[in-house]
Amino acid sequence: MSVVRVELAFHERFYDEVSGLPWRLDLEDWDGADVRFINRVRKGASRHPVRFVEGGRFNYALKQTSPEFAKREIENYRRVLALGLHALIPVGYAINKRDPISVETPVGTMYEPDDAAFVVTALEERALPESYLFRLDFREENARMIHDAVAQLFATLHANGVYWGDASMANLLVRFFKVRDERGRVRTELKAVLADAETVEFLPEMSDAMREEELDFFFESMRWMREDLTEEGVRVREATGEKAMRRIRREYERRYRLLKNVERFEEETGLNVRRTFGRVDYSRQLGSLKEQIEEHRWYLGERAGEETALRTAARDWLENVYKPIVAEFEKLRVFEYFPFTTASRLYLEIMGHKYFMSQEAGEDVGVKTAIVDYANKFHREEKPKTLLERIGNVVSRFFKPLQKDEDE
């Protein structure tokens, strides 16, 4: 084997730390080189040679593959991250250009390429391969967090037209992220991370058949993993069984529908959901917002004597209804009584709850009723009655112009 040259393509942030590694050698031959390996990392199953090495500021995961797939995988990681999805951080690739191998065939000597390549990603700290989780015993609550994280990853990928292509237990990590709200409060959220982008495809839209196929393939990988571990004598936990698969599927469908509803809401109203309202967890919250905007649209049309465009009504509602209510919530310091709830999120949850209750009752239950019911159902700690009344008064006050015009 003769190495002609080595081609390096690393992000400048990492270049100094990884450019000096022995790229002329196959990964399996690095043991004799001056490389600091990390052996404590939990590694999932892989069909490629994979090693973990220490750097200075960062640590790295290295995978040996072909030049074509190395270039493709790094580019795929970049595109996935650009969509705001969770994936490994691409450092770059190295290509080991070698002399071709001569192969004797019935028609003479043929030459096959012998180039090797390495995909380099930043090592995810405090992350575990999903396959390793099969060995752990979880409380139901923790298992549910993992299932929801997996469902969220799939739903977000598919809603953005990303077809994984090799969605398996071996290609998934789970990691805890520290999330800080605008008031500096920190909570921990579990996220699933796409850890192999070699087969990723970017499509204009995912068909239902493709979505179903991808989920079925992932669930089959869960069954294979369970069988392999059982044969090894490992006690496999029920948290990874058929019940878990059904939960992942249900949560996936809910979150996928939510994301598509967000798309439609943004297209119709011109409002960016995340920037305007923060995190939205349920479609009923969007239904409530759309209903409020439609009512405001009717109100503006009545005042103007002509029909108002939905996007125009949405902008007016945002400035003259939603933002003033949120500002009033801030003055009431609602975040002191509802842990990890911002003023905007509390408004979204209360109005979403009102929307749900009204549909169940077949009539408008009113803001104050919804607030009390919401506080009783979703927040165990008793809230001061005066606070709930003041919240109800704030919301009702901004909806009174509609009621007055109707009375007239």
CATH of 3-124, one of 1.10.3470, 3.30.460, 3.40.50, 3.30.200: 3.30.200
At residue 30, the pLDDT reads 92
Least confident of 12-16, 76-80, 354-358: 354-358
User: Can you read off the two tokens belonging to residue 293?
Assistant: 């905007």
DSSP string, 48-95: S-EEEEE-SS-EEEEEEE-HHHHHHHHHHHHHHHHTT--BPEEEEEEE
- Asked if 251 and 151 count as a contact pair (C-beta separation under 8 A), the reply is yes
- CB count, 10 Å around CB of 201? 12
Taking each helix axis from N to C end, the angle separating 208-231 and 242-269, rounded to the nearest 10 degrees, works out to 150
Which amino acid, residue 321? Answer: V
Give the residue among 218, 197, 198, 215 at the shortest CA–CA distance from 206. Answer: 215
Q: What is the mean pLDDT of the chain?
A: 82
Give the pLDDT confidence of 26-74 residue by residue, as tens digits.
Answer: 998 998 788 898 875 545 455 688 999 998 889 999 999 999 999 999 9
User: 299 pLDDT exceeds 50?
Assistant: yes
Residue 397 banded pLDDT, cuts 50, 70, 90: low
Low-confidence winner among 189-198, 314-323, 373-382 (lowest mean pLDDT): 373-382
Q: Which residues of 241-257 are buried (b: 16+ CB within 10 A; e: fewer)?
A: eeebbebbbebbebbbe
Sketch the domain layout of the chain as residue ranges.
Answer: 3-124, 128-265, 270-407
Each residue of 304-337: b (16+ CB within 10 Å) or e? eeeebebeebbebbbeebbeebbebbeeeebbeb
- What is the second-level CATH architecture of the domain 128-265? Orthogonal Bundle (1.10)
Closest CA to 201 of 148, 175, 164, 228: 164
Q: What is the pTM of this model?
A: 0.79
Which among 361, 333, 359 has a CA at the least distance from the CA of 346?
Answer: 333
Taken in order 60, 61, 65, 66, the sign of the CA dihedral is negative
- Binned at pLDDT 50, 70 and 90, residue 260 comes out as very high
Who has greater pLDDT, 391 or 292?
292
pLDDT band at 356 (very low <50, low <70, confident <90, very high): confident
Q: What is the pLDDT of residue 403?
A: 47
Half-sphere exposure of 256 (CA within 13 A, CB side): 24
Locus of tokens 């390429």: 113
Predicted confidence at residue 297, as pLDDT, reads 95
Whether 8 has a pLDDT exceeding 80, the answer reads yes
Per-residue confidence (pLDDT) for residue 237, from 0 to 100: 64
Q: Are 217 and 165 in contact (CB under 8 A)?
A: no
Please indicate whether residue 228 or residue 140 has the higher confidence score (pLDDT). Answer: 228
Helix (H, G, I), strand (E, B) or coil at 316: helix
Strands 116-122, 108-112: pairing is unpaired
